[in-house]
Amino acid sequence: MVAPGAVAAVTALALALAGCSSSSSSSSAQASSPSVGSSGTKQASSAPGAQPGGENQLQDAYQKVIADVLPSVVQITTGDSLGSGIVYDDKGDIVTNAHVVGTATTFTVTLANSTKSLDATLVASYPDSDLAVIKLSNSPGGLKPASFGDSGKVQLGQITLAMGSPLGLSGSVTQGIVSATGRTVSEPRGGSSPGATIGNMVQTSAAINPGNSGGALVNLDSQVIGINTLAATEPQTNGAAAPGIGFAIPASTITSITDQLIKQGKVTNSGRAALGITARTSFNQQFQPAGAVIVTVSQGGPAASAGLQAGDVITKIGDSAVDSLNALTTALASLTPGTKVTVTYTRDGNGKTADVTLGTLESTS
C-alpha cells in the first residue's frame, strides 16, 4: 500500500510515510542513483575539488560505502505491500519501522545479495517510536549486520546515502546531505501508522520514497545514522512529493529501542519524556483548538507531584505553545526525561503555572 497522505505540517509542508509501497509499483519509472550517507568524521579535504582528483575520490568513497552497507539492507514484504529493513545482528534480527510491519506477524525478506525469499516473524514492535524488529526463521550464513554511528556526531552538511526499496526497486541508493538535525516530526495517522510523534530526527535531502521506510541513512564512514521514515509532501499540490525533504529516526534511538525489543520483547526505557497524564484537545466556545485538557493523572507521576489535576487545560510547555493534544505531544517529544519545565495551564478559567520534572513515557508494547 502506498503510504497515507499528509497531516503534519513542517514549514507549511505535510508528511507522508515512506513505508509500504505496493509491490505492483515496481514498474514505475524511478532513478536509482547513488544515495544515503553522511560523513561523520571525514575532514573537509575529502570534498570534491579539495585536491587534485577529489571528484574521483568522492565517487570512490560512495562506491565503497555502497559495497559496505547495501548487503545489510533488505526488502520486507507483507502481503501485497513492501518496505525495507536493516540487518541488526548475525542471528537474523532485522530492524525496520513499526508502520512497515503494521499488524502483521509474518513476513518474507529478500536479502540484497539474493533473489531467494526468506521467512521471518515479528519479534516486537514499538509504535511510539515507529520501530520494530523481525527475525529470520532460518538465518543463513554470511549475514552482514550494519554498523551504527554516533548520533551526536551527525552535523549539518554531511553527505548521506539513503538505501532501500523505493517503489519495489530493491537495492536502490540516493544521495544528499544532512539538511538539519533535532527535528520533531509527527507522522500521518492512518493505515498501519498510529501517528507517532518522534523527536531528534535527522532531516536529509536524499530522496526518500514509498518503500524506503525502514531502510538505511548512511554516512561516508559506512555507518547507519538513521532509519528512513518520512518524506514531505506539498498540500497545495494534492500531496505531491516535496523534493529533498525527508526524515530519519536517529541511530541512538534505533539501537536503544532495538536492543530492548530483542532482549525483553518490549520497551521499558523509551527515553521519551512524559507528564504522566492522558489528555485530549480542548476547544473554546468558537470550537477552535485551545489547549490540551487533562483527562486522567497518573498517581505519583510528574504531573500529580506538581499539583496538576484532571480538568486542567495545558496551554504551554516551557516556551512552546500548546493548542491541541498533538502540540502537547510534539512539545514533549523534543524534551528528555528528568528535564524540569514550567507548565502553563488554566483551572476554572484562572491561569496558573507549575514546575514539573518530566518522567519517562511508559511502553505501550
Is 90 designated active site? Answer: no
Coil, strand or helix at 37: coil
Q: How many CB atoms lie within 10 A of CB 326?
A: 18
Marked catalytic residue, from 99, 128, 172, 222: 99
Provide the 3-class DSSP secondary structure of residue 23.
Answer: helix
Helix (H, G, I), strand (E, B) or coil at 305: helix
Clarify whether 213 is annotated catalytic.
yes
> CA separation (Å) from 230 to 3, 20, 99, 160?
9, 11, 11, 16
3-state helix, strand, coil in the chain (%, to 5): 20, 40, 40
Dist CA 58 CA 75 (whole Å): 27
* Pairwise CA distance, residues 242 & 13, whole Å: 8
Query: Is residue 129 flagged as an active site residue?
Result: no
Q: Which of 213, 252, 270, 282 is catalytic?
A: 213
32 CB-contact burial (10 Å; exposed 0-12 / middle 13-18 / buried 19+): middle
- Encode 320-362 in three state secondary structure: EECCCHHHHHHHHHCCCCCCEEEEEEEECCEEEEEEEECEECC
Residue 223: strand, helix, or coil: coil
The residues, ordered by sequence, that sit 6+ positions from 119 with a Cβ below 8 Å of its Cβ are 106, 107, 108, 109, 136, 137, 138
The rounded Cα 294 to chain-centroid distance in angstroms is 27
Residue burial 39-65, b: 16+ Cβ < 10 Å; e: rest: bbebeeebbeeeeeeeeebbeebbeeb
Q: Which residues are catalytic?
A: 99, 130, 213
